[in-house]
Structure 1
């Protein structure tokens, strides 16, 4: 009976060790995903700011956005 209890205890310790290792890996993966999300959020914010600036520049000078106001290409 003592041998049976010892075997069960070893089994539980093994499972606990595996679970602790898995939790550590999941924690690392979650931290990496959060870092990536923060980088992507910053990139999106910058892109939106650039788009706002481009829209402002285009509305301030609408003729430059009109293809018909452009001179013909040199090969014509």
Structure 2
């Protein structure tokens, strides 16, 4: 092979190595972002369960304080 061909092939190899390194860095950053999002989603799900529980408790408590929803007294 001529020196020009060897040099061209070496340049292509260098370019591919650079692209692979960039892709590995990008994949690592995406993995980190995905991990953080999963943790945030899990935290938000826990918070949502808490809020739903509070709302259900408020609904149950409001049924007793609303006179129209209370059973009539025994003399009726």
Give TM class, smaller chain.
Answer: 0.7 to 0.9
Aligned to 2:50: 46
Q: Which ranges of structure 1 fall in alignment gaps of 5 or more residues?
A: 64-76
Aligned residues: 63
Pair member with larger Rg: 2
CA RMSD of aligned residues (A): 0.9
4+ residue segments displaced more than 3 Å: none
Q: Deviations over 1:22-47 (max 9, x none)?
A: 00000100111111111111101100
CA distance in 1, matches of 2:16, 2:30: 21
After TM superposition, the score normalised by the length of structure 2 is 0.78
Q: Deviations over 1:32-76 (max 9, x none)?
A: 11111111111011000000011111112225xxxxxxxxxxxxx
Q: Which of these residues, 52, 55, 58, is aligned with residue 62 of structure 2?
A: 58
Aligned to 1:5: 9
After TM superposition, the score normalised by the length of structure 1 is 0.78
Q: Which ranges of structure 2 fall in alignment gaps of 5 or more residues?
A: 68-76
